[in-house]
Homo-oligomer: A and B are copies of this chain.
Amino acid sequence: MAAPADPAVEPGRSGHAALATAAASRPRLHPELLARAAIDIADVDGLAAVSMRRLATTVGVGTMTLYYHVRDKDELLDLMWDEFMGEHLLAEVPADWRTALTAIAQRTRESYQRHPWALHVVARPARGPNKMRHIEQYLTVVSMITDDLDEQLRILHSVSDLVVGCTLRELGVRAFPPPTGNPADSGDPWAEVLQPMPDFGELVRAEDLPRLRNLWTSGCLRRPTRFEQALGWLLDGIGAAHPEAVQLGAGKGGGEGRAVATTTGTVPKKGA
């Protein structure tokens, strides 16, 4: 592009009075800035629109300049991913483990809703500080259930897996809406849980799929899922396996649980 988008990013006059402030001393094109710019592109035009050329023009530099700050595009994706993981973080972790796990799950789902492109990056297990903080938040919660570190990890994974799996499916249906009727404008962002085919009717008749046909003729396929119920079942099972777990709001939809500070708290008394 001819003119840089942001005057503060203008090529000629870059690091002049930079060392006045200590924080401004680092190169004006730090990786986080690139990741954020790339995320902005992906949010608007989808992940496929994130190309090195386009990112370069939007931050106002030549294409190859990016490669001074980032090894390759894969590293850029990793940076985007960890920036995305930052939005999974809760300001405060509720004190009741059920409430807390539900809150983390909800927060995760909201992040995906804000950044649907994350769907296509989820396969790559990027390692980054925000992901580690996210895990730490999970750990503060699951440590309320048991002191067994292995068991903590298993619980963590089971909850996280359910959240990601469910969000993935629901978001996928949104991203590729069925030919007839767009579920996105039905109010509930998680509506339309199972995808009918274009020629669903014929196939279901030709193929001897009685139960699916039955489901199709009923309206079930068009009703929204209730993720909280699935999570509830899982938490029920976990709770039943750990009757010793502290349960603040013992009732069904009980207390909200008072919030505790995020990363404080003592390490469990015993290692494995």
- List the interface of chain A (C-beta within 8 A of B): 119-120, 122-125, 127-129, 132-133, 135-136, 139-140, 143, 149-150, 152-154, 157-158, 160-166, 168-169, 171-173, 175-176, 193-198, 200, 203-204, 207-212, 214-215, 217-221, 223, 225-226, 229-230, 232-238, 240-241, 263, 265-268, 271-272
Q: Which residues of B contact A157 (CB under 8 A)?
A: 166, 169, 193, 225, 230
Q: How far does the alpha carbon of A162 sit from the alpha carbon of B168 in the complex, in Å?
A: 11
Do B122 and A158 touch (CB < 8 A)?
no
Most buried by B among A158, A198, A217, A238: A158
14 contacts between A and B (CB under 8 A): A132-B197, A132-B203, A132-B212, A136-B210, A149-B214, A153-B225, A157-B166, A160-B165, A161-B166, A161-B230, A211-B265, A217-B271, A233-B234, A233-B237
Q: Which residues of B contact A198 (CB under 8 A)?
A: 127
Q: Which residues of B contact A122 (CB under 8 A)?
A: 123, 168, 172
Most buried by B among A127, A218, A241: A127
Q: Which residues of B contact A176 (CB under 8 A)?
A: 124-125
Minimum distance in angstroms from A223 CB to a CB of chain B: 6
Do A230 and B154 touch (CB < 8 A)?
yes
Minimum distance in angstroms from A227 CB to a CB of chain B: 9
Do B230 and A236 touch (CB < 8 A)?
no
Do B230 and A240 touch (CB < 8 A)?
no
Q: Which residues of B contact A169 (CB under 8 A)?
A: 125, 157, 160-161, 164
